[in-house]
Structure 1
Amino acid sequence: MTFVPVLLLLLVFGLPIGVAFALIVVMNADAWYMSIEYMASAPFDTLQAYPLLAIPLFLLAGEVMSRGGMVRELIEFSELFVKRLRAPMGHIMIAASAMMGAMTGSSVATVAAMGTAIGPEMKRRGYAPGYIGALNASTGLAGVLLPPSIPLILYGSVVGVSVTQLFMATLVPAFLFILALMLTHTLRARYVLPVGGEKTETTASSDVSSTAGRMAGLMKSAGPALLLPALVLGGIYSGFFTPTEAAAVAAVYAIFLTVARKVLDLGSLNTVFFKAGISAAAIMFVIGLTSLFNKAMILEQVPQAIAALATGFTDDPLVFLLAVNLALLLVGMFLETSAAVLLMGPLLAPAAASFGIDPVHFGIIVVINIEIGLLTPPLATNLYVAAMTNRISFLSMLSDVKWFLLAALVVLLAITYLPDLSLWYRLLS
């Protein structure tokens, strides 16, 4: 893996992310047996995937909601519930990302949409741009664990585990991640905000009648915006439409609402579409070109080598689980989420079964590990998407993201060695 230092050096010197990954592949094309024809077609084939269509559609919905004032209404309503917490905007980012993840099933789509919708408000509240990007990137981890989770669906399909059981098993781990992110944000807020608190802390009265009156007023003004998550989640969980179709519904609903309320006219929507299109193009450019790197790692059989190393030296299930965690964290640094789940699930699941590890519990471990890879360079997709969405440099996020990464690893260890956190639903029967 001598290419890794070169890749990191290219990124440090500011070469565009997608170009850096593609350049590494081109430099090693002969060694990796990749033809020019294949390198030309692979990114296009990757971007044809139907679930990726959710990214530009949710970006459009987020841009329309932001320009149309819907985000402001949702923030004001949410603050009624988190105003007693330190730095409430960060908690709103975490909660909103969890909800968006439940809508999309995709960590990358969640990061892109929430960076567009909430990132600007956090900046106005006094947060450093690097911290906004780090929090934005990290919150995608919690959201994608909530059903419907695309990685869990993929794991269940290739390993032969009930997707319904996986969805049940992931609920407690997801909420543990949310709580860990909130706790980390609370502890870090005093250090990242200039005066230890947000510039525009809420000043609403704590009187019960005053708070109730304000809630009633906000319910009236924010009611149409509050219907959006209910519409999207209700449609997904009822099976009426897919997460990608939900993204289209969200975009159309947001456009209709802003035009009907005369907040935006049809002419000004040109700017909204253009801005959302530019953001989507930048993100899809990175996804398409990093897919070349992903294919190269598979051709080089890097994941298989790591799996063999993790499973071939112990007969202790506790040591096996530790080795699997380390191996999957390493794989997550080099492979895109879906490819890593599809490859590593079938490779490791039989070995886990031989150690007596429950396949549902093991599925949660696999997906969490690979999702954490979205925060670990070189293939830290969430960080790259957060950097582009929030218009900040990749390096500016690294000093802050380490705290959220540490919190994620602590939760991962708890879930790994306390199987009842994943298998809680069986205790009820």
Structure 2
Amino acid sequence: MTPIIFGLAMLLLIGAPIGVAFALVVLLNVETFDLWLDSLGSVPYDSVMSFPLLAIPLFLLVGEVMNRGGLAESLTAFCDLLLRRLPARLGHIAIGASALMGAITGSSVATVAAIGGTVGPEMERRGYRRGYIASLVAAAGLLGVLIPPSIPLILYGSIVGVSITELFLATLLPGLVMACVFFATHAMLAKRALVNGRESAASDTGRTLSRGRNNLRTASALFLPFLVLGGIYSGLFTPTEAAAVAALYTLAVTLLQRTLRTNELPGVFSTTARTAAAILTIIAFTAIFNRALVLAQIPQDIASFAISVTDSPLVFLAMVNLVLLLVGMFMETNAAVLLMGPLLAPAADQFGIDPVHFGIILVTNIEIGLLTPPLAANLYVAARTTGASLLEMAPYFGWFLLATLLTLAAITYIPALPLWYRVFF
């Protein structure tokens, strides 16, 4: 396995396209994986022909329309007024928006794509370095899973037999804690991340809020979260359908308010299609690598080893964290949840660990894999949507990863954090 990982790292370092690197390392090691090439032919297609993934291009479209139609700037200006006394406030806005988008999409990657395309450009105009913007957006995207609805938690609850309602309740407080940790991390790093040491003044949009037309644009932007969240929680539509509603809403509002012209639409759709194609191509070809790991039974072997070496719940949880962090580095989130949940949940039950508590631990661990190379989908999507390189992200990314690990430790060893709701229900 080590030569395979080394080969993958080398391909990425020399600048090979991410998806190509993952697929190529499998094709060059078919004998090591004991694979038949014809068994992998449909994997890329099957991986992207998923209804939840449709939310990614739709929310990219929302972001592009909001940017070109002025809705994102109006919303940013409104938030500026609310947080005008808070230093480096736009970074805090990005974190809060990620939590909100997570409640809309249920997907970490879709959250990163949406926030990177909307708040990211304004952060760059305010003087933030691109590498910092990408690191912040990639990390805050994890709130897309800890703020319900959460697709991985639905998968865990269905395969392990745990109440999905309880899982959603259990994520609320951990999600709030992680958001607060990100706020503190941003406050600590902001001065270093800003080119001039402080956030620049708001754009002209922010200085014209008193005008009636801009107030209307701001109100239109503020209504969007209520429309989407209200539809989801009332059961009117799914998160993916919510993405479609959001796209239609933003198109209708910007066209009616004449902040976006019909002759600009081809450019909007073209930009969205190119960005979405790049992201979905990465997902499609990394699926080949995921399938190879599963067929070689590497995650199963790792899990079996962890279960067999200790009789202490605390040590077991520490080992499970290490195993799941490792698995999350190399496997797609939903696939990892479907694989590791049934393997580890029975062992956790034997140690007396609450299945709801364990579900939050498992999903949080695997989601952190979206920040840890080589798979690190959040990093790659954030880099793509903000125009940053991984080298530009390097000085800042580690701090946000540390923040997530500290939150994971609290979730793991303070059961009252995810199980808070049992005090009231």
Indicate whether the TM-score tops 0.5. Answer: yes
Q: Residues of 1 paired with 2:374 and 2:202: CA distance?
A: 37
Q: Tell me the equivalent position of 1:321.
A: 317
| 2:246 is the counterpart of 1:246 | no
Select which of 354, 357, 362 maps to 2:353.
357
Q: Residues of 2 paired with 1:233 and 1:302: CA distance?
A: 39
Q: Residues of 2 paired with 1:414 and 1:215: CA distance?
A: 47
Give the CA deviation at 1:192.
Answer: 1.4
Query: Relative to structure 1, is the Cα distance of residues 103 and 314 closer, same or farther in structure 2, using a 3 angstrom cutoff?
Result: same
SS of structure 2 residue aligned to 1:416: helix
| 2:128 is the counterpart of 1:127 | yes
Q: Residues of 2 paired with 1:230 and 1:348: CA distance?
A: 38
Give the CA deviation at 1:214.
Answer: 6.0
2:34–2:296 contact (8 Å) kept in structure 1: no
TM-score, length-normalised on structure 2? 0.96
1:94–1:181 contact (8 Å) kept in structure 2: yes
1:98–1:144 contact (8 Å) kept in structure 2: no
Select which of 238, 255, 258 maps to 2:254.
258
- AA paired with 1:426? R
More divergent stretch after superposition (241-250 vs 259-268): 259-268
SS of structure 2 residue aligned to 1:377: coil
Q: Tell me the equivalent position of 1:20.
A: 21
| 2:61 is the counterpart of 1:65 | no
Q: How does 1:316-395 map to 2 (within 5 A)?
A: 316-395=312-391
Q: How does 1:238-317 map to 2 (within 5 A)?
A: 238-317=234-313
Query: Relative to structure 1, is the Cα distance of residues 220 and 380 closer, same or farther in structure 2, using a 3 angstrom cutoff?
Result: same
More divergent stretch after superposition (30-39 vs 257-266): 30-39
Query: Relative to structure 1, is the Cα distance of residues 83 and 355 closer, same or farther in structure 2, using a 3 angstrom cutoff?
Result: same
Give the CA deviation at 1:102.
Answer: 0.8
Give the CA deviation at 1:218.
Answer: 6.8
Give the CA deviation at 1:197.
Answer: 1.1
SS of structure 2 residue aligned to 1:333: helix
Select which of 390, 394, 398 maps to 1:398.
394
Give the CA deviation at 1:81.
Answer: 2.5
Give the CA deviation at 1:220.
Answer: 4.3
Give the CA deviation at 1:219.
Answer: 5.4
SS of structure 2 residue aligned to 1:170: helix
Query: Relative to structure 1, is the Cα distance of residues 296 and 59 closer, same or farther in structure 2, using a 3 angstrom cutoff?
Result: same
1:184–1:407 contact (8 Å) kept in structure 2: yes
SS of structure 2 residue aligned to 1:40: coil
Q: How does 1:12-91 map to 2 (within 5 A)?
A: 12-91=13-92
Q: Residues of 1 paired with 2:155 and 2:215: CA distance?
A: 38
Q: Residues of 2 paired with 1:332 and 1:294: CA distance?
A: 10
Q: Residues of 2 paired with 1:154 and 1:360: CA distance?
A: 13
1:368–1:412 contact (8 Å) kept in structure 2: yes
SS of structure 2 residue aligned to 1:196: coil
Query: Relative to structure 1, is the Cα distance of residues 312 and 229 closer, same or farther in structure 2, using a 3 angstrom cutoff?
Result: same
Give the CA deviation at 1:184.
Answer: 0.3
SS of structure 1 residue aligned to 2:416: helix
Q: Residues of 2 paired with 1:52 and 1:202: CA distance?
A: 34
Q: Residues of 1 paired with 2:202 and 2:244: CA distance?
A: 34
Gaps of 5+ in 1: 204-210
1:77–1:219 contact (8 Å) kept in structure 2: no
- AA paired with 2:74? E
What does the per-residue CA deviation read over 1:398-426, in whole Å, with 9 as the maximum and x for residues that have no partner? Answer: 22111000000001101111000001010
Aligned residues: 423
Q: Residues of 2 paired with 1:382 and 1:348: CA distance?
A: 25
Query: Relative to structure 1, is the Cα distance of residues 218 and 95 closer, same or farther in structure 2, using a 3 angstrom cutoff?
Result: farther
Q: Residues of 2 paired with 1:176 and 1:396: CA distance?
A: 28
1:82–1:91 contact (8 Å) kept in structure 2: no
Q: Tell me the equivalent position of 1:206.
A: none
- AA paired with 2:296? E
SS of structure 2 residue aligned to 1:190: helix
Give the CA deviation at 1:125.
Answer: 0.9
Q: Residues of 2 paired with 1:120 and 1:26: CA distance?
A: 38
Give the CA deviation at 1:324.
Answer: 0.6
Identity %: 56
2:357–2:418 contact (8 Å) kept in structure 1: yes
What does the per-residue CA deviation read over 1:61-120, in whole Å, with 9 as the maximum and x for residues that have no partner? Answer: 110011000000110111222222221111111111111111000000111111111111
Give the CA deviation at 1:301.
Answer: 1.1
- AA paired with 2:369? G
SS of structure 2 residue aligned to 1:421: coil
What does the per-residue CA deviation read over 1:141-165, in whole Å, with 9 as the maximum and x for residues that have no partner? Answer: 1122111100100100110000000
- AA paired with 1:425? Y
- AA paired with 2:350? S
Task: Tell me the C-alpha RMSD between the 2 structures.
Answer: 2.0
